[in-house]
Chain A
Amino acid sequence: MKKILLALMLSLAFILPGCGGNVSQNNCGFSGPANAIYLVIYPDGERLSGFTPVTGGLFLVPKRGYTCNQLSVRYGISLGFTLSASPSSVYLPSPPASVTMSGQSFDATYGMPRVDYFDSNGYLVGSVGATSVSNGGTSLQANMPNLSYVYSGTYQVKVTNKTYDGYYLNIVGQAPMTGWGRDRPDSDGDGWYDDEDCNPYDPYFTNNCNTETCGGYGTTPRYICDGMVY
């Protein structure tokens, strides 16, 4: 009985025929290169990305109501180079018009690389296309994105090359950059900056917008919902 149950459990994901011969009712199985970036494109334009297993081989993605052969899969690589940005420190109220990235493997063969700016929490704060790439791919120029809503702190500038079929999937690497001259406000003084606070003007709301806490409105303090206490 044990074996039957386990075999049935395991077979659920792999029992039905389909693309690659490894598909369940809800999933499609694809094989890709080891530890590569994959991008699944659904017919409605929705996208799903992730990494293939480090040893390569099968990975499963949800069908979302489509057949497996309606899904398009693309692969990319992450070179993981440490890059440098110039300037590496930016006065935010008056930023420079452009930035130069130095490193290697910048590639404009299929289109200009994309330059993304992330804050210290990993949130995207700006994205621009490069304006030029040097011969040899060791430096890149790009306009500075709109930083008028960006606060002082450390940022990461990430460069991604375009693939032959038009997707930004080949990550070159990233460089640190410091922004200064515009401190983050905490209007309600609850210890959470306005841009991360669920309600910047109510101290009972912090950054925990959708989790296990109850209350937290008006003068009702937040408390842990009963169901989460054991």
Chain B
Amino acid sequence: MRLIKGLQRRRSMAIALAVAFVLVGGAAVWHASKLPAEASSKDKQESHKRLRKGVGSEVRFASAAANAQQIDEAVRSTDEFIHWRSGLRMSDETKTRLAKAESDVLKGKARLITLDELTDNLTTAVVDRLATLTDEEIQEAADASTDEHGDIRSRADGKWGVLTKKGLIKQGKSGRDWSQQGDSALRAGLRTMIEEEVSDRVVKLSAALPEQFGQASAQGVTPTQALLIAYSVAADDPLADSRGDIEQMIVQKRMDARQTREEKKAQKNVSGRPYGPRGLVHPSAPHLFFKAGVEKLLSRSEGGKK
């Protein structure tokens, strides 16, 4: 009997974790929707090329020799990159704090953020935020994560199938209860999954953009890089492809669906953006958790000086 109860609890926990990830924004498998799980060398090259055209071209990372203006530009381009793709917008205060944190790290006044620290910060942010979610926020997350067909995909590539809105709301509330009780299994499970997601992204970014991310696994990442990785995990945005490529992808998607302008205007559950709430490529609700995650990262940077 105890075994059965244990198994039931584990399964419920697993569902709650899946739901938590959808609520986070679907910390998803890194592969683009049409890429195979086992990427060939050619696929990897294509994946790297797409990353270089995306984050590699549109975010102007600052180097160690960067002046204040160049660091501000790095922060501004990061904000623009994330905003265009998901609608998430960096406040002026966050920009100022991020620029200061980035400068401190680049000038050697503060250390890089290790991947373990990044994972810990994100896990804590998710667990804490999960505990304080209101019913309305869970409902909002479900709405924001629902695609134009009324389905919710826990992964952008659909690998783990589809959730119903009702199921997500129910399990989201269970996850909140466990988080409020300080359930260590929830925390441990989420940490493992976030660790894998962060690691996946770092591996890809290191290979595609070695100048910027080559030392990430061994030494860590700058605050701006950490923020981009956190966003990628939260919104399940692979950071790949230029704006033009994404726009073309969306045009093709509309053509495949044979959608008219009138049908588009009548839709209440899609935004004009590829990612984030009601996103066209992968809808998710990263805004519920992202603010808390960024706050943790900046606090760590501000308090983690050498």
Contact = CB atoms under 8 A, between A and B. Distances in A.
Interface of A: 1-2, 4-6, 8-13, 24, 26-27, 35, 48-49, 51, 53-55, 59-62, 116, 118-125, 127, 156, 158, 195-196, 198, 207-212, 224, 227-230
Nearest to A174: B255
A13 B188 contact: no
B244 interface: no
Contact of B34 (A8, A10, A51, A125): A51
Given A5-B188, A49-B256, A230-B94, A122 B287 contact: no
B17 interface: yes
Contact of B89 (A35, A48, A120, A228): A228
Contacts of B13: 5, 8
Contacts of B159: 13, 60
Given A122-B252, A210-B268, A210-B278, A230 B287 contact: yes
A71 B70 CA distance: 56
14 contacts: A1-B185, A2-B188, A5-B189, A13-B159, A49-B256, A54-B34, A59-B158, A60-B162, A118-B254, A122-B253, A156-B255, A196-B261, A210-B270, A227-B287
Contacts of A49: 256-257
A9 to B, nearest CB: 5
B277 A123 contact: no
Interface residues of B, number: 62
A121 B265 CA distance: 14
B261 A208 contact: no
A26 B161 contact: yes
B32 to A, nearest CB: 10
B11 A8 contact: yes
B161 A211 contact: no
Nearest to A208: B272
B122 interface: no
A5 B14 contact: yes
Given A12-B160, A196-B261, A210-B267, A122 B185 contact: no
B69 interface: no
Contacts, number: 149
A16 B270 CA distance: 32
Interface in B152-194: 158-164, 167, 185, 188-189, 192-193
Contact of B251 (A26, A122, A198, A208): A122
B34 A229 contact: no
B36 interface: yes
A26 B257 CA distance: 23
Contacts of B131: none
A9 B259 contact: no
Contact of A208 (B18, B257, B271): B271
Most buried by B among A49, A118, A156: A118
A211 B273 contact: yes
A18 B182 CA distance: 37
A5 B34 CA distance: 27
Nearest to A127: B258
Most buried by A among B89, B90, B162: B162
A60 B161 contact: yes
B264 interface: yes
A54 B35 contact: yes
Contacts of A54: 34-36
A8 B271 contact: no
Contacts of A158: 255
Interface in B24-60: 34-36, 38
Given A55-B36, A122-B252, A60 B271 contact: no
A53 B37 CA distance: 9
Contact of B192 (A2, A124, A198): A2
Nearest to A24: B161
A229 B291 CA distance: 7
B161 A229 contact: no
Contacts of B270: 210
Nearest to B258: A124
B294 A123 contact: no
Contacts of A35: 34
A198 B265 CA distance: 7
Most buried by A among B254, B290, B295: B254
